[in-house]
Amino acid sequence: MIGKLLRKSVPNMACTSRDESAFEGRSSPDRQFQPLLRKRLRDLRNAYNAHTTECFPQPRGLVAYVVTGRGDDGSKEFSQLRERAKAQGQFVNQYVRERRGCPPNERSGWATVRATVYEGFAHGVIVLDQETVSSDLEAYEREVRWFGERNALLLLVRAETST
C-alpha cells in the first residue's frame, strides 16, 4: 500500500545533487527575520502537536528519521530520538535513515515517512532538528502544516530557535 502511494505522490525522484547547500536559501527570507520566523514556526508546530495530542492521547508510534553522512549508520541519532520520544510519552515503531546530499523534496526516505503517516501506520515523525526536515523555512512550514493538517505529530529534539 505504501509503495502504491509513493508511486502516485512522488514521481521518479532520483537525487541529482551531491550538496543540499545548493538548495538552501533559494526563497529564504532575509537573515534578520529568520529568528522571528523560526519562533513563529516553533509556535505553529507546538500548536498542531498540542491539538493532535489532545485529540489522540494514546500514543500510536512514530517514525524516527535521520539524515546521515557517508559511513554513519545513524545509531547515535536514533538513540537520541528514542529517548526523546519516550520522554514525551511516545514510542518509535519505524526507522528511516537517509544519506545527506539531496534536497528534501528529492529524498525518498522523507517520502516514505509521509506515506507511512498518511496511511496511518505511524502517529507522526521525530527528527533531531528543523534542518533535518528542511533548511528552507518556507519548505519547512509546508511540512509543519502537512503534518498538522493530518493530526500527525512533528517532534524535534532541538527546537527551531536553537538551530
CA distance 101 to 18: 5
Q: What are the tens digits of pLDDT across the range 16-62?
A: 333 444 444 444 456 667 888 899 999 999 999 999 999 998 888 99
Question: Which residues, listed in sequence order, are joined to residue 97 by a DSSP beta bridge?
Answer: 66
Structural domains in the chain? Answer: 37-162 (3.40.50.1390)
Query: Can you give the pLDDT at residue 15?
Result: 43
DSSP states of 88-125:
TT--EEEEEEEESSS-GGG-HHHHHHHHHHHTTS-SEE
What is the average pLDDT value for the chain, to the nearest integer? 82
CA distance 69 to 15: 15
DSSP code, position 25: T
HSE (side-chain half, CA atoms, 13 Å) at 118:
16
Q: How many CB atoms lie within 10 A of CB 39?
A: 13
Reported residue count of the chain is 163
Q: What are the tens digits of pLDDT across the range 76-98?
A: 999 999 999 999 999 999 999 99
Query: Can you give the pLDDT at residue 13?
Result: 35
Query: Can you give the pLDDT at residue 85?
Result: 95
61 phi-psi bin (left φ>0, alpha ψ -120 to 50, beta other): left
Lookup: cell for 102: 539531496
Q: Where are the beta strands (DSSP E) in the chain?
A: 62-68, 92-99, 124-127, 153-156
